[in-house]
Structure 1
C-alpha cells in the first residue's frame, strides 16, 4: 500500500473540473441567447445583455465567439441537435418512410413555441442583413437540404425516383410549402400536413 514518507506534504485534493465549468458557462450563454433574441429581437441583442443573462463576463463570450451572430447560430444549432456539416438522414431503404420522418421532425421543430419565436426573430433579421442570411443558409439550412438531396439521389439509384429528377429541386418542393405555411401562418403545422406534402411530391418523383 503506497504511503507518504515522513515530513512529505499531504496530497492536494483534486481541483474543480474546468471542462465542466466551461461547458456549464457555454450552455448558459446559448440558453440566454435564445431567450433574449426571442424577447427583444436580433437587432437589440447585445453581447453585454447575453453576458448579464448568462451570469458570465463579456470576455468569456468573446473567447469562444467573434460576434453575436456566431453565438446565435450556435444557439440554434444546439436546439436542432447537429453541428455544421454533420446532418445525417435515415436510410432504411424506404425513401418515403425516411422523408416522412424528416418532414415531421421539421414541422415539430417549427411548431415548438420557444423555437418558433427564435426562428421568427432570425427570419425578420435576414430580410435586411445579408450576412446573417448567408450565415443561416451556410450553417443551418444548407447542411439539411444537402442531406435530403443526397437521400433522394440514393432513391434515384435504387429506382424509387425517376432518373430525370433534380434532387435539389425536389428538396425545395418538399420543404417550401412547410416554411411558407409557417412564415405566413396560413394553416396548421402538423404531421398530417407533412404527410400530405410528401405524398403529393412523391407522385411527381416516382419513375414514369
Structure 2
C-alpha cells in the first residue's frame, strides 16, 4: 500500500515537472514567434517617406531581435542556450537557403544596429528597452557618448542622394552629434562602397549610383590638386 502511494506521488511529481517544462517551452516559443512576426512585418513594410516612421522601424527591429536573442540564450534543463544568428533568422523570414545581395544588406544593418545598441548599454536598462519597443529615441547608457541621444541616421546622407533616404538598409543608429557631423561630410570610400552594394542589391538605381560616383571622383580629383 505504501509503495503504491509512493509511486503515485512520484508519478504526479514527474507529471507536474513535465507540464511545467512544456508550458515554459511553449511560452518562450510564443514570445519568439511573436517577435519574429513583428520583425517580418517591419522588413516587409515598403519604404515610408516619413523620417519618424523610419526611426520607429529601426528601433523596433532592434527590440524584436533583443527579445528573440534573449529567448535563444535561455537554458532549458540540460539544453544550453545559444546566441541568436541573424542570418538564420532572415533565411527563415525570406524562406531562402541563402541571402541574396539585398537581404545581405538587411543582415548587415540589423547586425550593426544591434551591436551598437548592445555596446551603448541599451539592453541593460528598462527605460531604454521600453523606448526601443515603442520606436522612440533614447539616451545612450554607456561608452564615450553616455547621456547623448541615440538617433537614426543614414549610411548615405540625403544631401548626397535622396533616392535611398527612407530605405531600411540605409538607416543606422548613432549618437545625435555624429549624425549632425555626417550631414556635412564629403563622399568617402565607405559611402562609395555602400552605394555600390545598394546598387547590386537593387535598392539604388544606376542613375543615382552614377551621380554618387561622379561626386566621389570629383572630390577625389580636387583633393589631389
Name the TM-score class by shorter chain: 0.3 to 0.5
TM-score (norm 2): 0.34
Relative to its length, the structure with more strand (as a share) is: 2
TM-score (norm 1): 0.36
Q: Identify the structure with bigger relative contact order (alpha carbons < 8 Å, sequence gap 6+).
A: 1
